[in-house]
Structure 1
Amino acid sequence: MRRNPHTIFATITASTLLLGGFATATAQAAPTKTESLYAPSALVLTVARGEDPMTATVERAVTLDCAPTARGSHPDPAAACEELASVRGEFAELAAGPSNRTCTRQWDPIVATAHGVWQGKPVRFSTTYGNACEMAGSMNDNSVFAF
């Protein structure tokens, strides 16, 4: 039995309109709550070789999300989130402590960076150390950049 192509098109169109109207009515009946585009505390941390954070070669990078629970590719996200909370997300305070290490004066610069959001505020932090020993000493064995 051969069907008229116009009848088939009209049937498909009517079905689509009916289903589309039903889906629209259902979606409008239960609107979704709008969420923020950014997590309250989500960061990318890097350790790179070089003087300038824009041109340094990234050697290691991790993600760190502190809300609602500590998680990410960081090896110890709970400890890192706790340390950041203790300094109110001020990365410069993590690096401000006196070094307890004796390091050579070798110039082999290392750049530590943090980019993202901390408790809803944008973060763009970078600091350069003379070498890896100076970085480790300055960070005083903090967990944030221990990856």
Structure 2
Amino acid sequence: MRNTLTMAGTFAAAAALLLTGTAAASAAQSQPVGTTSLYAPSALVLTVSKGEDAATATVERAVTLSCAPKPTGSHPSPVSACAELRSADGEFNQLVEPTSQRMCTRQWDPVMVTVGGVWQGKHVNWSITFGNACEMNGRIAEGTVFNF
């Protein structure tokens, strides 16, 4: 009887170790792959399109911009653009002047600027429509983010 209890205790201890090991292995396997970065992701696609609706506008230019862990992408000035975005805390409205000081015609030929992707780990879907290219250039002329 004594050997039976000892063997039962041994089996119970072995089963507990096995289950603990399986749970630990399962937890390790359930961790997302590639999430050990110290940087929140910042990867954006910026476009300039003809039209007033993002669903039907014709994309004329597009660039990528990634700011973490280092500025990269097809944007012509990724270092400056990322610095500008950081100083604005990712608020794209702060990068556009409220009015243009440039003399432009009142021709309605809408141009849309869009930004989509992730900024410091948060989903971004931003757009603005200008009356024409002259107005757009007058309102975004100072910065580098939208100059591509």
TM-score with structure 1 length normalisation?
A: 0.73
Q: Secondary structure at the match of 1:46?
A: strand
Match of 1:118 in 2: 119
Instruction: Tell whether the 8 Å contact from 1:116 to 1:122 is kept in structure 2 after alignment.
Output: yes
Match of 2:11 in 1: none
Give the residue type in structure 1 aligned to 2:83.
E
Match of 1:130 in 2: 131
The yes-or-no answer on 1:34 pairing with 2:42 is no
Cα distance between partner residues in 2 of 1:33 and 1:111 = 36
Instruction: Tell whether the 8 Å contact from 1:50 to 1:56 is kept in structure 2 after alignment.
Output: yes
Quick one: percent identity of the two aligned structures?
59
Give the residue type in structure 2 aligned to 1:50.
G
| Structure 1 residue 86 displacement after superposition | 1.1
Q: CA RMSD in A?
A: 2.3
Match of 2:10 in 1: none
TM-score with structure 2 length normalisation?
A: 0.72
Instruction: Tell whether the 8 Å contact from 1:111 to 1:126 is kept in structure 2 after alignment.
Output: yes
| Structure 1 residue 127 displacement after superposition | 0.4
**Residues 11-90 of structure 1 mapped to structure 2, 5 A cutoff:** 34-36=33-35, 40-90=41-91
Unmatched segments (≥5 aa) in structure 1: 1-27
The yes-or-no answer on 1:142 pairing with 2:143 is yes
Q: Secondary structure at the match of 1:106?
A: coil
Instruction: Tell whether the 8 Å contact from 1:97 to 1:139 is kept in structure 2 after alignment.
Output: no
* Aligned residue-pair number: 118
Cα distance between partner residues in 1 of 2:42 and 2:91 = 13
Cα distance between partner residues in 2 of 1:64 and 1:142 = 15
Cα distance between partner residues in 2 of 1:82 and 1:67 = 11
| Structure 1 residue 98 displacement after superposition | 3.7
Give the residue type in structure 2 aligned to 1:120.
G
| Structure 1 residue 50 displacement after superposition | 0.3
